[in-house]
Amino acid sequence: MPRTQLPTENSGSNRTALVTGGGGFIGQALLTQLLGAGWSVRNLDFIAGKISHENLTHWQGSFTNNDLLHEAMFGVDCIFHLASTHFPKEANAHPFADAESSILGTIALADMAKVSGVRRIVYASSGGTVYGNLVEVPVPETHPTRPITAYGISKLASEHYLRFLDSGGIETLSLRVANPYGPGQNISKAQGALTTFCHHAVQNLPISIWGDGTVERDFIHVDDVARAFVLAADSTARGTEVNIGSGQGVSLNHLLELIRLAGCSPDVEYQDARAFDVPRSVLSIQRARELLGWIPEKDLKSGIEEMIQAFQARI
């Protein structure tokens, strides 16, 4: 299968991107690839991140700050909207606050972008939460969407509004991202099972698994995710949603086996299953191939070895 090609260094020349949440895990990978493709990039986030580049400027604050947002998007060609004010657990605990900032904030961003002459918005949605319990695996974008978490509801509602606004002139595309992993993910956050597993295995800390470990997830390397976003900026696809995952389901128990193959011997503690964990979440990536010309390139085994080595280097 041929490798997916990123845009060349000159393809982003004279174009400016605004990335909300560029200081985060996916955001840092996206900044790197946009800069490598020749874009001028603005990062709107409370966190600047570790990247320094002559074509990168940092705008400190939240995308919900309308004055700051309006200033940051002036002259921008494409907005990559990655920022989220709540993690999944926080959204469940505070659904009103999550809806107010995530849904209304996204609508305000898109409406302002349209008025400001921004050509395109690429939105980071969640392939693991918008579908809910699956009746078809791998799940295509046409699958019914019945999210069972507040986080998934907010993501889905934002998708609907962006699709609606697309018909009014501005181009929008929502990428439903699976479970991203890779070096640089913040282990202190309440997400990222694979990153947590690898870190605990290296540190000889027990790994907690909710349920019996048979739940399946779709894990995708953060560099592959970032590449999909860069390709989405130049795609002719608009007013729709695209899954971004590996297309392969991996159980948590199998993750443990891969970690053991990488040279670790983790202790595992199985706990009661959580009500909001769907049993299987695996994305079909056929539409991504067709609309973006994108396929994942990093396999899970080598990705886990990379993470184990990165954590070992910190000891």
The CATH number of residue 47's host domain is 3.40.50.720
Whether 9 has a pLDDT exceeding 60, the answer reads: no
Whether 100 has a pLDDT exceeding 50, the answer reads: yes
**How many structural domains is the chain composed of?**
1
Tell me the per-residue pLDDT of 102-147, one tens digit each, with 9 for 90 and over. Answer: 999 999 999 999 999 999 999 999 999 999 999 999 999 999 999 9
Tell me the per-residue pLDDT of 137-189, one tens digit each, with 9 for 90 and over. Answer: 999 999 999 999 999 999 999 999 999 999 888 999 999 999 999 988 888 76
Question: Does the residue 8 lie in any domain?
Answer: no
- Asked, as a colleague might, if the bond just before 138 is cis with ω within 30 of 0, I would say yes
Question: Does the residue 139 lie in any domain?
Answer: yes
Question: Does the residue 5 lie in any domain?
Answer: no
**Spatial separation of the C-alpha atoms in residues 159 and 197, rounded to whole Å:** 31
| Residue 171: domain span | 16-182+219-245+280-292
Whether 2 has a pLDDT exceeding 70, the answer reads: no
Question: Does the residue 210 lie in any domain?
Answer: no
Burial degree of 163 (CB within 10 A; 0-12, 13-18, 19+): middle
226-240: average pLDDT: 98
Per-residue confidence at 279, pLDDT binned at 50, 70, 90? confident
pLDDT attached to residue 275? 82
Burial degree of 186 (CB within 10 A; 0-12, 13-18, 19+): exposed
Question: Does the residue 231 lie in any domain?
Answer: yes
Sheet containing strand 240-244, strands side by side: 56-60, 40-45, 16-20, 78-81, 120-126, 171-177, 240-244
Please tell me whether the overall predicted TM-score, pTM, comes out greater than 0.95 for this model.
Answer: no
Question: Does the residue 140 lie in any domain?
Answer: yes
Instruction: List, by residue number, the catalytic residues.
Output: 151
Question: Does the residue 307 lie in any domain?
Answer: no
pLDDT attached to residue 189? 67
Question: Does the residue 305 lie in any domain?
Answer: no
183-212: average pLDDT: 90
